[in-house]
Amino acid sequence: MHAKVVVVGRDYHFGKGREGDVALLRKWGEENGIEVVSVEPELFEGRRISSTWIRELIEEGDVEKVETLLDHPLAYTGIVEKGQQLGRKLGFPTANIRIARQKMIPKFGVYASAYLFDGKLYHGLTNVGMRPTVNKDDDTPLTETMIFNEHFQLYGTKGTVLLLKFMRPEKQFGSIEELKTQMSIDQKQVWEYHTKRQKTVRFEGYM
């Protein structure tokens, strides 16, 4: 790679059994004319910001704190799939993007979200999970995003879902009517969140 500078954290380790440390890396750098820079950890609420902490927060659904630590929202990019079109029949059409198997899966449930399409950001409501009320065969998680006040033909297009706030856990309902009633409640609560949110959604890195 012809590196000139290598930047690592203060507690960086590498190699078999993680036996290599910053001191060994510096020695190697001196021998090869490469500058080694060691940086101090960033702290938030007295805790070191780390990938382990961020993964824990994603599993808990605390995407608001994830956004604070990363300085941008947790996001999933993919091609919009054509599903059962149940949302459209119920009056809540959604853009469905599957979560890749190598991606960290957030806590299943309903989120206030933003949807990035064609360089523009839209207010959204996203369900993440397995759709237990209507799904019997699909075994991989899906993000289903309803975009407020817009009607797009998105099948086959590339989109990005940015999760902003966890609203409630995923739930299996006794009937489609119960599901429809809850979706109306979710829509109202998420819209209230969007109207009150003051923080700008950063999405430049997903363009």
Q: What is the pLDDT of residues 159-180, one digit of tens each?
A: 999 999 999 999 988 888 898 8
Q: Do 12 and 111 lie in a common domain?
A: no
Written as one string, the DSSP assignment of 133-190 is TT-SS--S-EEEEEETT-----TT-EEEEEEEEEEEE----SSHHHHHHHHHHHHHHH
pLDDT band at 49 (very low <50, low <70, confident <90, very high): very high
- Enumerate residues 6+ apart whose C-beta is below 8 A from 115: 95, 121, 122, 123, 124, 126, 145, 147, 159, 160, 161, 162
Both structure tokens of 13: 């380790």
Q: Do 162 and 70 lie in a common domain?
A: yes
Closest CA to 145 of 186, 192, 94: 94
Q: Do 179 and 81 lie in a common domain?
A: yes
Q: Do 90 and 190 lie in a common domain?
A: yes
Q: Give per-residue burial for 64-89: e unless 16+ CB within 10 Å, then b.
A: bbbbebbebbbbbebebeebeebbee
Q: Do 32 and 118 lie in a common domain?
A: no
Prediction pTM value: 0.83
Q: Do 74 and 29 lie in a common domain?
A: no
Q: Do 155 and 77 lie in a common domain?
A: yes
User: How far is Cα 127 from Cα 175, in angstroms, rounded to an integer?
Assistant: 18
pLDDT tens string 86-143: 555 555 678 999 998 889 999 999 999 999 999 999 999 999 998 766 666 667 889 9
Q: Do 28 and 57 lie in a common domain?
A: no
- Enumerate residues 6+ apart whose C-beta is below 8 A from 105: 58, 99, 128, 141
Q: Do 27 and 105 lie in a common domain?
A: no
- Residue range 36-43: mean pLDDT, rounded: 95
Domain of residue 30 covers: 5-40
Q: Do 96 and 17 lie in a common domain?
A: no
Q: Do 17 and 107 lie in a common domain?
A: no
Number of domains in the chain: 2
Q: Which CATH number covers residue 57? A: 2.40.30.30
Q: Do 87 and 31 lie in a common domain?
A: no
User: How far is Cα 37 from Cα 17, in angstroms, rounded to an integer?
Assistant: 23
